[in-house]
Each structure stands twice: as C-alpha cells, then as structure tokens.
Chains A and B, each alone.
Chain A
Amino acid sequence: MNATVLALVASIVLGTGSLAWGYVGVGLPQLARWIVIFGAVWLAAVWQRWRWFAYVGLALYFLAAALGLWFLNFPPGWMFAGAILALLAWDLTNFRYRQTFAASDAERRPVELRHLLRLSIIAILGFALASLAMVAKLQFSFDWIALMAVVAVLGLSQIIRWFRNRS
C-alpha cells in the first residue's frame, strides 16, 4: 500500500469520524450512524476503484458540514475537518488514478511526495483560515454581500473564459 492510498483511507476515516463525532456531540446519533455507514461504503468504493463515488462523497460531506453549520449550530471544528478531509479524499482518489501513468515506484514517489505536501499545506491553511473566520465571526452588511456577489460573478466569468480559451 503506497502513501497515497494510506492518506486516502486516513482522510475518509478521519473525515467520517469528524462529521459523525460532531453530530453525536449535539445529540443526533442516528444521523451520525448514517454518516459512518456512508464512510464504510466510501472505503469499499476505494477498494473497488469506483472513482465516481468520491464525487458523491465530497458533495454529501460538504452538505452535511453545511447543514451542521448553517442550520444546527454545530461545533464548527468538526464540520470543517469533515469537509476538508472529504476534499482531500476526493483529490487523492483522482491522484491515485493518475499515478497509474507512472512507470515505476521510483518515478511515482517524487510526484506523490510533492502532491501530498501541497495537499497538506492546503488542508492546514484551509483549516486555519476557516477557523480564523469563525473566531472573527464576520457579520455581513448589505454592502459586503453586494461586493461578494460581484466578486463571485466576476470570478465565475473568469473561470468560464479560461475554460473556453482552452477548448
């Protein structure tokens, strides 16, 4: 088992655990049980190499985290951890597939190392920034919302333009 698979399994286990723990913490063990079952299925999907399942996993984990944060006032740390680790699992599922291009372990290792390092930095930075935002407890006025909406639309149009240029 190489480092990517180890990291992938660890991401799914820890992400599932974080979300489930968060839900148990506020007295919703039924939902937590379903999250654990889903995590087990995700692990089985990794074993079966169902790449598409990672997309479902990422979407559902973000949904679960968002639900917890938006409507139920859960402890944010566990929700962030669940979402970020699901993002890592989704990324690593795809990276694992791309590794099949490598001719040998010697060729794969440096690429793998670089990728895992970058991913770790993103995860740590993401977690830190999200936590900082939570600590700051930013309240949005109408001006802020309008500004963010404009930025979101501009950003989205930039991304679409980039895709069009490429194709």
Chain B
Amino acid sequence: MSRAWFLGLLLFVVLIGGLTTLRGSELAVAIPLLLYWACALLRAPDEIKLEIRRQLTAERVAPGTPVEIKVTVSNAGERLEELALDDIVPVGLEIMEGSSRHLISLGKHRTFEFKYIVRGTRGGYAFGGLYAEAGDALGLLRIATEVSAPKRLLVLPTVARLKAVPIRPRRTRVYSGTIPARVGGAGVEFFGVRPYEVGDPARRINWRAVARHPEAVYSNEFQQERVADVAVVLDGRERADLRASGKSLFEYSVVAAGSLASGLLQQGNRVGLLVYSQYLQWTFPGYGKIQRERILHALGTAAPGSSQIFEGLQYLPTRLFPPESQIVLVSPLLEDDLPTVIQLRARGYRVLVVCPDPVKFEMSNLPPLSSKYSRADVVLAGRILRLERAVSLRRLRRAGVQVIEWDISRPFDQEMQGAFRRLNRAAG
C-alpha cells in the first residue's frame, strides 16, 4: 500500500468515525490529516518531463581505467519539488568517485548536471536509463519513470605484446608475410635448387651444384613467406572454467586469446575468432588493426556459458576454418577434449593449443585448509593432477599438436617467449 493510500484510508476512517459519533468537535482530529493531504495535492507533479544526456570520457578502455560519466538532466516540464535521481550503473562497474544518486529540487526549464567516475573489469556495460522519482513537497504523491539515455562502455581485455607466433600451417594465402609457405620463390630461408631460368641473378646460381652436374646450371630457391589463415578458438565452456577466490580461469584464456590474435594480426595474417561458449560467437576473419579491434570487442563481451550442445569440443564448426589452416585453441582442456583436438590435426589443420594451467590456478587460489586435510595432502593431490595432465598433453604432442602450457603465475608474454623459442627449435 502506498503512503498516499494509507493516509487516505486513515483520513477516511477518522472522518467516518467523527460522523458516526455525531460530535463535530471530535472531527477536529482529522484536520491535520486533511491539511497534510491538501498540501501534498497542491504541489503534486502531474508528469515527469526530463531530458537526459549522458557523456562518457571514453567508451573503450582497459580494465581498471577510470571513466567519468557526466549526466545532464533538463526539466522540460513543471517544477519538481523533490526529485530523486538514480542513474542505474551496470552490474560489474564500481563507482570510484561521486555518486549516481541525487536528491534535488528542479525548477521549470532548469538543468542539473552530475558526474561520477567508474571503473570495471573486462566486459561490455550498457547504460540504460536514469530512474527518476518526483514527488510533492511532502513526498506523498510520487510518480516514477525511467528516462532512457543509452551508452555503452566496453572494457577490453589486457593484451600482451608478443613477438612472432610460430605457426606453420600447410596452406598459406597468396600475400607475402612471415609464415614459411613450403613453396620456392623469393624469401630468406634456403628451400632447394632448380634449373637456371633466364633472369635469375648471378648470385643465386648454386655453383656447387653446377660443379657436380656440369651439364646444366642450377639456381638456389628460397622459401616463400606468406600470410596464413588463422582461427583463434577461445574455449568459453563453463565446465572448462575454474573459479576460485573471485577469480576465473576464463579471464586468463581471454588474455591469451587476445594477445595471440593481436600478435598474429601484427604478423599480417588473416585472423578470425571463435568463442565456443553457450553459443558460437564468430568474428569473421580479417586483416589489420580494424580486425584487431573487432576481435578485442568480441573478447571484451565474451563470457563463459554452458549449453548441452557445446558441452564438448566435438561440435567445433570446422567448416568455418579454411582447410589445412592454422587453429589456435585457447583452452584449459578437459580429458574428453583430447580426441577432438587430435582429430583436427588428422584432418590437416595445424593446431596450437595454449592452456592456462588449471592446476596452478587451483593451487594458487586454494581456500584456507580445513582440519580434514593437511598441507601435504594438498601438495600430493596437486602432483597427481599435474602428472595426469602431463600424460594427456604428451598424448597431444605425439599426435603432432603443438601444446603450450601457461603457468598463470607468470605474465603471458614472458611465458610465451620461452615457449615459442622451444617450438621453433622443435620445428627445426
């Protein structure tokens, strides 16, 4: 029951009581209530006519970056005696300074402006409306409305700068890049020899081959370096995600996917992003800075989710990836994912799996130990898990899948530097 109804009912009861007892002087007790009602009715607002303008100092920021929100409220209607404003801040944003709630009195055609500073973790935050509640001078008769002032703030994931990501897909695209194309031509690395053709520069002639086979002249051929098609697949399945101490392993996967995609685009490759979560979120492959922005945008709003269909990786839509291209899978990997990954490799894709280490994550975010388990028990459990995982990853490596395990206690770029070096060495 609203205050107005309650007071009206009380007034009615008092009046009826007075009339029933037929003692006019006793009706006097209703006078203060009547006066209160009259005063409220006199200045009750009929409608709220507000115009809202919202401005953000930045619409795409890094996590934790302060963003100032400026809201300008203009009253296009009658004077509002008591106006309560509540700018609805999206969940996940933290107000650092200022307030999103205000209690003011706003005259006809007057403007009120307020600012507050927010910051947030990775994600897309949609500012919807501003809740406004206006009332009479006593706050008895109140009307409320939500005035729309949409804006969107995108907190992009942190991206580490990576040096050349060592990928070697079987098939490359026609444009020159940095990926060895297994095709002879202009390049840096020696590829083979072929019979001399008119126009070959003299310094390309392989004199040793000519000396061995004097009947012909041979030229050196170098491996062409081209760009490749790369699909970065981010595993967003809830069952593959771990949460502990308010942290999520998925966040590490997002950082890894963003950094890898950014590094691969930097190398000139055509990169697409597939977020394998509650549904498939596919960012069509493209080149350059615009594509980087598209991918970061997709990663900014990516969230782990569960779905019966995408519970396992077996429904990975390989038709989206060109045949024999490079797939970069960012996933903590579950035991039942291994056959799917091996199958991808068998189909001719080059597969690089980057695993944020789930064991390390759990071990570093353990809650305080209960009396049931000792520290030694936990360490032993951790060792067993690590061994099981090492066996699984070895199975993948044997199948020709490149696997990089990321110790999440170290920065991604530092970890990758060493891992890429090892992969390059292994590739010869």
Those of A79-118 within 8 Å (CB) of chain B:
79-80, 83-84, 87, 91, 94-95, 98-104, 107-108, 110-111, 114-115, 118
A83 to B139, CA, bound (A): 19
- Binary per-residue interface labels of chain B (6-30) against chain A in the complex, 1 for a CB within 8 Å, 0 otherwise: 1010101011011101111111110
Those of A112-130 within 8 Å (CB) of chain B:
114-115, 118-119, 122-123, 125-127, 129-130
Contact A95 B139 (CB under 8 A): yes
With contacts A101-B85, A118-B138, A149-B19 taken as known, whether A123 is within 8 angstroms of B103 at the C-beta atoms is: no
A138 to B338, CA, bound (A): 94
With contacts A80-B29, A102-B102, A114-B137 taken as known, whether A87 is within 8 angstroms of B36 at the C-beta atoms is: yes
Residues of A near any B CB (own CB < 8 A): 55, 58-59, 62, 65-66, 69-70, 76, 79-80, 83-84, 87, 91, 94-95, 98-104, 107-108, 110-111, 114-115, 118-119, 122-123, 125-127, 129-131, 133-134, 136-140, 144-145, 148-149, 152, 156, 159, 162-163, 166
Extra pairs beyond A66-B17, A103-B103 (14, CB < 8 Å): A69-B29, A83-B29, A87-B32, A98-B82, A100-B101, A107-B104, A111-B105, A114-B137, A126-B35, A130-B32, A140-B22, A156-B8, A159-B8, A162-B44
Q: Which residue of chain A lies nearest to B22 when distances are taken between CB atoms in the complex?
A: A140
Contact B31 A115 (CB under 8 A): no
Q: Which residues of B have CB within 8 Å of A140?
A: 19, 22-24
- Binary per-residue interface labels of chain B (89-111) against chain A in the complex, 1 for a CB within 8 Å, 0 otherwise: 00000000011011111000000
Q: Which residue of chain B lies nearest to A166 when distances are taken between CB atoms in the complex?
A: B143
A85 to B6, CA, bound (A): 17
Which interface class (under 10, 10 to 19, 20 to 34, 35 or more) fits B? 35 or more
What's the A-B contact tally at a CB cutoff of 8 Å?
A: 139
A70 to B18, CA, bound (A): 8
Residues of B near any A CB (own CB < 8 A): 3-6, 8, 10, 12, 14-15, 17-19, 21-29, 31-33, 35-36, 39, 41, 44, 82, 84-86, 98-99, 101-105, 114, 135, 137-139, 141, 143
